[in-house]
A = this chain, B = another copy of it.
Amino acid sequence: MNVEEIIKTSKKIPLEPRTLIHMELVHNKINEIMYGALKPFEVSLQQFNVLRILRGQQGKPANLSTLNDRMVTKMSNTTRLVDKLLSKGFVNRTVCPSNRRKVEIVITDSGLKALRQMDESLEDAHKVIYQNFKKEDLEQLNYLLDKF
């Protein structure tokens, strides 16, 4: 990736703002590839993320605030995100019997099946995204990202 080429400038950009631009460009690129990989399943990255969280629960239901805590991008509107998954038949939602303020969300068999297919598609996306990376590069990158 060549920053200056993408934003079509010949000027030298100072290191600090350049890094922010660089991060943004990489973020956009990753998002594009990931959305492409999820497109056949008609779910957003956020929805995919929620499905993975639910699978991680191993049958144990999750409520909305738990989902929100565990989401990578915390958003205000988990209700409507779950609505979408519900309308696709990927999750079930019931009122929690012991505390009726809460809802209990579980992933369905159909959701699990779809998720397994998404995993395969995401594997391919990873291959594209990381084609120039060695394992040590990724470790070094994670080390540096921790400094933020």
Q: Which A residues are closer than 8 A to B by beta carbons?
A: 1-2, 7-9, 11, 15-30, 34, 56, 69-73, 126, 129-130, 132-133, 135, 137-142, 144-148
Say whether A23 contacts B22, CB under 8 Å: no
CB distance from A43 to the nearest CB of B (A): 16
Say whether A138 contacts B15, CB under 8 Å: yes
Q: Select the residue from A23, A28, A133, A140 with max chain B CB neighbours within 10 A.
A: A23
When distances are taken between beta carbons in the complex, the residues of chain B under 8 Å from A30 are 20, 23, 148
Cα distance A139–B122 in the bound complex, in angstroms: 30
Number of copies of chain A assembled together: 2
Say whether A11 contacts B56, CB under 8 Å: yes
Cα distance A32–B56 in the bound complex, in angstroms: 28
Q: Which of the residues B56, B73, B135 comes within 8 Å of A28, measured between beta carbons?
A: B73
When distances are taken between beta carbons in the complex, the residues of chain B under 8 Å from A145 are 1, 19, 22-23, 26
When distances are taken between beta carbons in the complex, the residues of chain B under 8 Å from A28 are 73
Cα distance A26–B16 in the bound complex, in angstroms: 15
Say whether B133 contacts A137, CB under 8 Å: no
Say whether B146 contacts A2, CB under 8 Å: yes
Say whether A24 contacts B73, CB under 8 Å: yes
Question: What residue of chain B has the Cβ atom nearest to residue A29's Cβ?
Answer: B148
